[in-house]
A = this chain, B = another copy of it.
Amino acid sequence: MTSARGTGPDTGIKSTDTLISILEVLQSRDGAGVTEIAEELDRSKSTVHSHLQSLRAHRCIRKDGTTYRLGLRFLSFGGHACNRTGLLEIVRPEVDGLVEETGETAQMVVEEHGRGIYVCQSRGAEAVRTDSHVGTEVGLHCTAVGKAILAHLPEDRVREIADRHGLPPRTDETVTDLDELFAALERVRERGYAIDDGERIPGIRCVAAPVRTDDGVIGALSVNGPTKRLEGEYFREKLPSLVGRAARVVEINATYA
C-alpha cells in the first residue's frame, strides 16, 4: 500500500514533496486550516504551519481569517507557461468562434506529463455547466481531447502514459483496456477527429480535433454538450467539420508565429 504521506512521489528534495502535498490538500478542499492539513498529511501542525508561513511570504497562498487558500500567484506562473508561445492569442478567437457557431462549450487542451490541461475555455449561453475550467486536469484516455492527442503520439509514449497514470474508469463507458484504447486511437486517426460519448461525464458528448505542428501534437480543440442536443447528422458530420476547421486554423497560425 502507499505511504501515509499523501500520494506524491518521494524523490529529490523532501521539503518540496511536503510543499506540493500541502498545495494539493488546499486544492482538493478549497482551502483548509493548519490542523486539518496536518491530519490529512499525517504531519505535525508545526511543520505544516511553517510551510504555510513560508508560502505566504512568497505570496503563493492567502490566509482568509483562519483558513489558508491557494493564491493567484500560481496563475502568474501558469499563465507564463501556456502563453510563452503566444498560443493563447491564436487559440482564443477559434474557441470563441466555435462557441458562436454551436452555442455549446468549447476548449483547448494541452498535454503535459501525460495529463490534459485546459488552457482556454469558452461557454455559450445555453451551455451545460460542468466543473471544468481553465487549469482543470483530465485523464487523456477518457476524453475526446485526450484521445485526439494520444492518437498522434508515438505508441511507446502512449504505453508509458497508460502505465504511469493507468486507465481509471470515470463512467461505465470509459475505455479501461489498453488494446481497446489503441483500437479507438486507430479510429481517431482514420476519421481525423475523436469523440467521447459519456466516457467522462454521463450524458455529455464531446468532439475533438488534434492540433499538430512540426513539433508533433501540441493539444486538441473540442466542443462538448448534452447528448440530447448533440446527435444525428449534426454530431456525426457538422460538428467534426467545425472543430476540424478551427483546429486547422490554429495549426496554420501556430506554425507561422
Contacts and interface: CB of A to CB of B under 8 A. Distances in A.
Interface residues of A, number: 58
Q: Within the oligomer, what is the number of copies of this chain?
A: 2
A40 interface: no
A79 B118 CA distance: 10
Interface string A136-177: 110000000000000000000000000000000000000000
Centre residue among A17, A77, A117 by max chain B CB count within 10 A? A77
A4 interface: no
A73 interface: yes
A35 B17 CA distance: 24
Contact of A27 (B76, B89, B117, B134): B76
B27 A133 contact: no
Nearest to A10: B57
B134 A59 contact: no
Given A76-B78, A89-B129, 20 more contacts: A13-B50, A15-B16, A16-B55, A19-B19, A20-B58, A30-B80, A62-B112, A72-B78, A72-B82, A72-B117, A74-B75, A74-B81, A75-B117, A75-B135, A76-B117, A77-B135, A78-B78, A79-B135, A88-B133, A92-B123
